[in-house]
Structure 1
Amino acid sequence: MNQQSLSAFIWSVADLLRGDYKQSDYGKVILPFTVLRRLDCVLEPTKAAVLSELAEKEAQGINPEPFLLRKSKQSFYNQSPLDLPKLLGDPDNIAHNLFTYVQGFSPAVRDVFERFEFQAQVERLAKAGLLYQVTEKFTQIDLHPEVVSNMQMGLVFEELIRKFAEISNETAGEHFTPREVIRLMVNLIFIEDDAILSKPGVVRTIYDPTAGTGGMLSVAGEYLAEHNPQARLTVFGQELNPESYAICKADMLIKGQDVANIAFGNTLSDDGHAHKRFDYMLSNPPFGVEWKKVEKEVRKEHEQQGYNGRFGPGLPRVSDGSMLFLLHLLSKMRPTSEGGSRFGIVLNGSPLFTGGAGSGESEIRRYVLENDLCEAIVGLPTDMFYNTGISTYVWIISNRKPEARKGKVQLIDASGMWQKMRKSLGSKRKELSDAHIERITRLFGDFAEAHDDDGTPISRIFDNEAFGYHSITVERPLRDEAGNIVLGQKGKQKGKPQPDASLRDTENVPLSEDVGEYFKREVLPHAPDAWIDPDKTKVGYEIPFNRHFYVFKPPRPLAEIDAELKQTTDRILDMIKGLSA
């Protein structure tokens, strides 16, 4: 059964719920039942062995848990004699038996169903007389892993969440990232380490602070399994949305990961992995979402802990918290002495340039660039994400740059690399093909300037300081009514020309230029009485991505345009003559 038909089948359960449930509540039933059926199918082959082991160990008075895990051949088990098909044999007691069955799971799975508030939904379905029909419907789906792979299952969960989010006017994109974007990001963070990752028995950690349903962690695991089956990737994550968290945790359970590594809660105000560091990290934080709810905790950490906390370099404006996740990930990097880290984060355009010199955003960019942490920024096509059509950028950050990359930043313009989707999904109308992913990965791996077939630049390399500037304040003297310069009367200002606030101006001088030389060349010829106030000079950083890929195309010659207009006019006149003839 392919993913679309499977999703359509599960979606048909909605027909049963119509009338008794609002559309926006369908997910509260369908998501937990889908997870339950998947777990039911995964455990089915070892069910008899687990029950036999349980009886034996209980007779011996031994704690059965470690033995049940071994027999189930999974990182979870169920010790109830029931399963979903058996529940259908006792329609009158289905609600009670369903509770008993769910309580028979190991603690990590029970937590999944608590996050779904499954008990409340079972009671509601029973009251509406729908519980038996819904259970029967799900029992008809074959979700055994040999029929539906883990990867397919992850895609099914994502599609269901997207549909429910659309129905209830939620932001679907907050919960997951398109798989091809994740594949690109995974390629970019692993490519330079292929030699290390191909060693037998290598163990690495990967972390996603905005884990959603676990898509990024899953794709990273698939990549490593494909390139080196002996390598092991231990995954860590945190998620704020209870349903996404429950699905992520269930997905990780099935894949044999330690689900204690998936924390619940708000990463910014309550870090579920405090003091931990990771080899690799991936994140797609929500775009343009304000952080007012966690402002108190974040400001407190910034002010009290400074660089010992996560937010030392500065704080962005409250209207967009995505750069807080960038800072959070920077704080999770392993020290270079312990092997260092590399991570990829998806951001919208504003973190590249929002905020002048001295602002929180500029100070964060300054920290990243002056510490030589940015390897590359890749501009993606518009219409790539489910909930927004805006331009997005993947930042690749590392504190273990290869020698050739030291002191440099690579900008890759992949905005023209896309293919149209056969069917739009929300705002997503475009996708990256395998060939596009390979091309972008190769551009990154080659680390060289490159152009497309038309000669337009698509890869550019800059020194870190190319993005920095001195913001200087240019003062002009205040003059009285007679036109004389007003001088200070007291203290340090005595005898000095006083500035006219209405004539005050600021200039941005590239870091690579001498401020004095720039001032002499650009300002004094136009304002000979001007001076710089050195106390107001600030250092700023911005990354004007699009400007570096802009190619000026001169307009066509006027004669050519006139000739074309005449040709069109003559054609219209001929048509009019033809009509009146």
Structure 2
Amino acid sequence: MSAFVWTIADQLRGVFKPHQYGSIILPFTVLRRLDCIMEPHRPAMQSIAERRLAARLALMEAHKQTRLWLFNSSPHSFASLMEDPDALAENTLAYVEGFSDNIDVFKRFKFADSIAELDEANILYAVASRFAEVDLHPDALSNSEMGDLFEDLIRRFSEASNETAGEFYTPRDAVRLVVDLAIAEDDKLGAEGVPVRTIYDPAAGTGGMLSLAEEHIHAQNPNAALTLYGQELNPESYAICKSDLLMKGHDADNIKWGDTLANDQHQGRTFDFVLANPPYGVDWKKSEKAVRDEAAKGAQGRFSHGLPSVSDGQMLFLCHMASKMRPAKMDGTGGGRVGVVLNGSPLFTGGAESGPSEIRRWLLESDMVEAIVALPTDMFFNTGISTYIWVLDNTKADERRGKVQLIDATGYGTKMRKGLGSKRVEVTDADRATILQTYAAFADTDISKIFDNQDFGYWTITVERPLRLAFDVTDEQVETVVADKKFKGLDADALADTLRAVKGTRYTSRDTFLAAVKHEGDARGLKFPAAQNKALQDLLGERDNTAEICRDRRGAIEPDTKMRDTENIPFGWNGTDKHAQANGTRKAVIDAYMKTEVLPHVPGAWVDHDKTKVGYEIPFTRHFYTYVPPRPLAEIDADLEKVAAEIIEMLREVEA
């Protein structure tokens, strides 16, 4: 059936480009399926249409009489459309416009424009008549089979247009792994009975994640009652996703169109499983006002924990998905899980107390991060970069509480015989089984590491050094000071004479130098306020570790801002308490670090504890790094001598 429908695209060659085929074939497939579904109910629908009920009432009445969540007030059908070829375009548009408002997929496909183009090219009848030959009635093709057909068409059109496939379509092997990891802890899914679950994708694309999640769960338990939800910004992808669910008998009204970050159209809902592959490196400028307004709401807002750079919205999706997990109940039931594919930046981008670091802090301190899996490179259609699956859970198993499992699955990908865009590697069933076994074992191995949540925390401390200035005035410095605008109100000649009067002496005490300048200035009628004294210090002072320490009016040591530095101290440094941040012993740990690591190299340095910041990062690669020593020099020399001998022998053959 898929091959037959695909051949209809042959009618489009020469008029449309391959990447446009899907926007025509897919809505026609939807229209034909709906036409077949409605066929036995047309008398009832015509009766409802004649009563001229309000749109919502008409839909409710249609559902009552036909059990369908759709309604069409048009007298047309595919059969009647074919009877009047001259008015085919006009009648097809009237047929499409007769659907109830919840069937908005044709508007998102811009189907009216496609009809006009087909009609203008004189191929509308050829295309429509071929679809009229296809029997897509549920008796001929079940909802499950129809979903498979539609999904296969989506995949074919995506693969035929590699430049756009990766933007809206997640490879099936990646989706299967995300789904398997997300449902791994749900033991009841495989048990007898009818488990009820909800699945949500906030960046639904064409619906592949939702469809495969349903397929996987039904493979474990065909009786599982699943309700699928999603939201998608791209109009055509939204139309495909909604159509796919409609083909499978789901309530397509659960798929919403719009910007998830700016307008959560499933507000107030939470879900058992939240799955997504949000766009990488896409800015959220268009959503910025709405996002910042929600962040300002405090704990009730999805984004109150921190905001990432406007140039990359991945972590906003991560926050949104965490907020959509079904809450855990006091008796240990309930709860939700997240499976999301992200690139490497959410692991480490941003310093202590930056937006990304605060988001990581919230997730880790709330004990929601269960596992992070590094995928092989070259897995996605439009990028070959490193990607990671984050698994979140708000009801972790006892042995996983307070822990995070990192899995390095970069070596578990199989090279494809033929690449698709940037996708050259796939995770086979065997690869996926190995990764899932590693996850389930929850043990330290070469590819699995178990950490406490606190292992990813650190303090960024500000290390100050005392300001030490020496002064040795030169003629060039005098000219610089006289020309500086900060001294514009002073007599230039008197200022120059004052500075020349202290020239020739090296002062290693700032106070002594400024006192000498004041004395010479008073003799020439010059007064130097605090701002100009500071300017003299900046223009004439040079750092000298043998000079006297500068102090403020209260006698406190002044820090040298140019020598200021920062150090990162990991929680649990040198065997200290990982929970020092929580139990109030932070200062003791920092002081011990200074004594051991800093003061032996920089005597006199100190920490400004008021500037200490808390940060979180997950240095994934560092934890799996294996040092490979360079080859011995003798071995390298032997190889070079061997190659040189081969070259000499070849030259001899040429000369001969």
* TM-score (structure 2 length as normaliser): 0.79
Aligned to 1:544: 619
Aligned to 1:453: none
Equivalent of 1:17 in 15, 18, 32:
15
Aligned to 2:232: 239
Aligned to 2:556: 496
Equivalent of 1:120 in 108, 113, 117:
113
Alignment check: 8 A CA contact 2:45 2:72 kept: no
Aligned to 1:50: 41
Alignment check: 8 A CA contact 1:74 1:254 kept: no
Residue 567 of structure 2 is aligned to residue 507 of structure 1: yes
Give the partner amino acid of 1:508: N
Deviation at 1:408, TM superposition (A): 0.7
Deviation at 1:439, TM superposition (A): 1.2
Aligned to 2:313: 321
**Residue 15 to residue 576, structure 1, CA distance change in 2 (3 Å):** same
Aligned to 1:416: 411
Map 1:151-550 onto structure 2 (within 5 A): 151-161=148-158, 163=160, 166=163, 171-195=164-188, 198-303=191-296, 305-337=297-329, 339-450=334-445, 457-481=446-470, 482=508, 483-490=546-553, 494-513=554-573, 514-550=589-625
Alignment check: 8 A CA contact 1:198 1:231 kept: no
Question: Which structure: larger Rg?
Answer: 2
Distance 1:60 1:498 in 2: 86
Cα RMSD between the aligned structures?
2.7
Aligned-partner SS, 1:185 = helix
Aligned-partner SS, 1:17 = coil
Structure 1 range deviating more: 86-95 or 382-391: 86-95
Equivalent of 1:564 in 622, 631, 639:
639
Deviation at 1:83, TM superposition (A): 3.6
Q: Deviations over 1:186-206 (max 9, x none)?
A: 111111112355241221111
Distance 1:480 1:64 in 2: 86
Structure 1 range deviating more: 288-297 or 562-571: 562-571
Distance 1:545 1:60 in 2: 65
Distance 1:471 1:356 in 2: 9
Q: Deviations over 1:388-429 (max 9, x none)?
A: 111110000011000011111101111111112232222111
Aligned-partner SS, 2:197 = strand
Aligned-partner SS, 1:327 = helix
Alignment check: 8 A CA contact 2:303 2:320 kept: yes
Structure 1 range deviating more: 22-31 or 306-315: 22-31
Deviation at 1:107, TM superposition (A): 3.9
Aligned-partner SS, 1:293 = coil
Aligned-partner SS, 1:219 = helix
Distance 2:43 2:268 in 1: 43
Alignment check: 8 A CA contact 2:15 2:121 kept: no
Structure 1 range deviating more: 187-196 or 396-405: 187-196
Aligned-partner SS, 2:380 = coil
Give the partner amino acid of 2:551: G
| Identical positions, percent | 50
Aligned to 2:485: none
Aligned-partner SS, 2:567 = strand
Distance 1:57 1:127 in 2: 35
Distance 2:630 2:78 in 1: 70
Alignment check: 8 A CA contact 1:75 1:257 kept: no
Map 1:1-80 onto structure 2 (within 5 A): 1=1, 5=3, 9-15=7-13, 17-18=15-16, 27-40=22-35, 43=37, 47=39, 49-54=40-45, 69=63, 75-76=69-70
Distance 1:377 1:17 in 2: 47
**Residue 544 to residue 222, structure 1, CA distance change in 2 (3 Å):** same
Give the partner amino acid of 1:568: V
Structure 1 range deviating more: 341-350 or 73-82: 73-82
Deviation at 1:119, TM superposition (A): 2.3
Alignment check: 8 A CA contact 1:289 1:321 kept: yes
Aligned-partner SS, 2:185 = helix
Number of residue pairs matched by the alignment: 557
Aligned-partner SS, 2:307 = coil
Aligned to 1:454: none
Distance 2:654 2:117 in 1: 72
Distance 2:86 2:160 in 1: 33
Gaps of at least 5 residues in structure 2 are 471-507, 509-545, 574-588
Give the partner amino acid of 1:251: D
Structure 1 range deviating more: 59-68 or 189-198: 59-68
Alignment check: 8 A CA contact 1:238 1:264 kept: yes
Alignment check: 8 A CA contact 1:375 1:397 kept: yes
Alignment check: 8 A CA contact 2:21 2:157 kept: no
Give the partner amino acid of 1:579: V
* TM-score (structure 1 length as normaliser): 0.89
Alignment check: 8 A CA contact 2:357 2:615 kept: yes
Distance 1:269 1:116 in 2: 23
Aligned to 2:91: 97
Distance 2:327 2:60 in 1: 36
Distance 1:172 1:178 in 2: 9
Alignment check: 8 A CA contact 1:477 1:485 kept: no
Distance 1:403 1:543 in 2: 23
Distance 2:464 2:387 in 1: 39
Aligned-partner SS, 1:478 = coil
Structure 1 range deviating more: 460-469 or 25-34: 25-34
Deviation at 1:9, TM superposition (A): 2.2
Give the partner amino acid of 1:537: T
Gaps of at least 5 residues in structure 1 are 451-456
Q: Deviations over 1:280-328 (max 9, x none)?
A: 100111000111111111111112x022100111000111010000011
Equivalent of 1:88 in 66, 69, 82:
82
**Residue 85 to residue 443, structure 1, CA distance change in 2 (3 Å):** farther
Alignment check: 8 A CA contact 2:19 2:157 kept: no
Deviation at 1:371, TM superposition (A): 1.1
Structure 1 range deviating more: 387-396 or 227-236: 227-236
Structure 1 range deviating more: 562-571 or 150-159: 150-159
Deviation at 1:164, TM superposition (A): 5.2
**Residue 93 to residue 504, structure 1, CA distance change in 2 (3 Å):** same
Deviation at 1:31, TM superposition (A): 3.5
Residue 136 of structure 2 is aligned to residue 145 of structure 1: no
**Residue 431 to residue 270, structure 1, CA distance change in 2 (3 Å):** same
Aligned-partner SS, 1:12 = helix
**Residue 485 to residue 27, structure 1, CA distance change in 2 (3 Å):** farther
**Residue 226 to residue 81, structure 1, CA distance change in 2 (3 Å):** farther
